């Protein structure tokens, strides 16, 4: 999952002449603040150079996770939103991801940090009309009201930074702002997933319909020490590797997500929740189904089903075959 060329070039232009050693120090300092002070309502990023470091290190992963989650959601509904409200927009990665998948005619980005807003606007200067003309509003959506409305509302990597009461209030505001669909993307960690499950329950009580990833609206069948998450592979630039002391040409971003809609969706019959196990003539799938978690083996003799399984990846919807047993 690569960044759009326009965005990649815009980031490169923005950092021309910047001291790379300082960018790295800023990123390390910012990462430490997120680890130690996240979830306390404190401002964690205030400087333009910090926003640049954030864009280099986090925009590719956020873009990839949101694009993957939104693609899964759009597969389950005929809805094609044309307006977007990006809440906690940062430097606009989620807006870029939505713009790549939808024909947007209007984008509004809510962000509390002026440094992020300045950079987000700058990066979109040569983008599509929807991104170029996006309305950037300085607002802390966790604390302030959200008078804006849009057909699609996205909140990515923000709810996990809130306390339970703040998160519950924020979710209510996000849902009220969504005319058709709400997409929430969170880190693929056990703690963030537990928070997302609380959000899932709240949204169901508010009348939302699950589009993805869940193939049902019942209680999550995951065991207490397990969690539902997916991953996308992100190519790394040379500077990205240098700033994060990485040698691999890519990084795998783990994420969890929830997409809900105003109208009922054609939910997946089942969803693959682990990387398929591929052996000679056999593919093992771990599926979440309306009847619980199921381990299924698909064999070469199964013909077309085997061909589909061979192309399937973790996160994909899959027509659950009758073979296999439900895990306890």
Q: Summarize the confidence of residues 237-244 as an average pLDDT.
A: 72
pLDDT tops 80 at residue 193: yes
Sign for the CA dihedral angle at 250, 29, 170, 101 comes to: negative
Nearest to 107, CA basis, from 174, 122, 116, 124: 124
Pairing state between β 230-235 and 250-261: antiparallel
pLDDT tops 60 at residue 60: yes
- Write down the mean pLDDT value for the chain: 89
What band does 327 get if pLDDT is binned at 50, 70 and 90? very low
What band does 34 get if pLDDT is binned at 50, 70 and 90? low
* Residue linked to tokens 């005619």: 105
Q: Tell me if residue 190 falls in helix, strand or coil.
A: helix
DSSP string, 74-86: HTT-S----EEEE
Pairing state between β 178-187 and 150-156: parallel
Pairing state between β 250-261 and 209-212: antiparallel
pTM of the model: 0.91
Q: Tell me if residue 159 falls in helix, strand or coil.
A: helix
Q: Is 100 exposed, middle or buried (0-12, 13-18, 19+ CB in 10 A)?
A: middle
Q: Which residues pair with 87 in a beta bridge?
A: 110, 155
Q: Which domains does the chain have, with CATH numbers?
A: 5-261 (3.40.50.150), 271-326 (no CATH)
């Amino acid at each position: 999952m690569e960044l759009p060329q326009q965005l990649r070039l815009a980031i490169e232009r923005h950092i021309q002449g910047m001291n790379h050693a300082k960018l790295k120090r800023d990123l390390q300092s910012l990462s430490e603040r997120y680890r130690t002070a996240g979830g306390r309502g404190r401002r964690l990023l205030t400087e333009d150079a910090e926003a640049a470091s954030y864009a280099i290190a986090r925009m590719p992963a956020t873009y990839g996770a949101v694009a993957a989650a939104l693609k899964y959601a759009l597969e389950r509904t005929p809805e094609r939103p044309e307006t977007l409200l990006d809440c906690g927009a940062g430097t606009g990665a989620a807006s870029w991801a939505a713009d790549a998948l939808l024909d947007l005619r209007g984008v509004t980005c809510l962000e509390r940090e002026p440094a992020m807003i300045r950079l987000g606007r700058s990066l979109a200067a040569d983008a599509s009309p929807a991104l170029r003309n996006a309305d950037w509003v300085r607002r802390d959506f966790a604390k302030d009201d959200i008078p804006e409305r849009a057909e699609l509302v996205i909140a990515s990597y923000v709810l996990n930074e809130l306390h339970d009461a703040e998160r519950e209030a924020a979710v209510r505001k996000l849902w009220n702002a969504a005319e058709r669909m709400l997409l929430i993307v969170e880190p693929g960690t056990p703690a963030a997933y537990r928070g997302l499950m609380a959000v899932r329950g709240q949204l169901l009580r508010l009348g939302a319909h699950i589009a993805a990833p869940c193939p049902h609206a019942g209680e999550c069948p995951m065991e207490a020490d397990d969690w539902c998450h997916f991953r996308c592979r992100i190519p790394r630039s040379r500077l990205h590797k240098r700033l994060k002391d990485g040698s691999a040409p890519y990084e795998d971003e783990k994420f969890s997500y929830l997409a809900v809609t105003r109208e009922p969706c054609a939910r997946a019959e089942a969803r693959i929740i682990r990387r398929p196990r591929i052996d000679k003539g056999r593919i093992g799938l771990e599926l979440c189904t309306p009847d619980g978690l199921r381990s299924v083996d698909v064999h070469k003799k199964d013909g077309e089903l085997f061909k589909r399984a061979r192309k399937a990846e973790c996160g994909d919807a899959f027509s659950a075959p009758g073979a296999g047993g439900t895990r306890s």
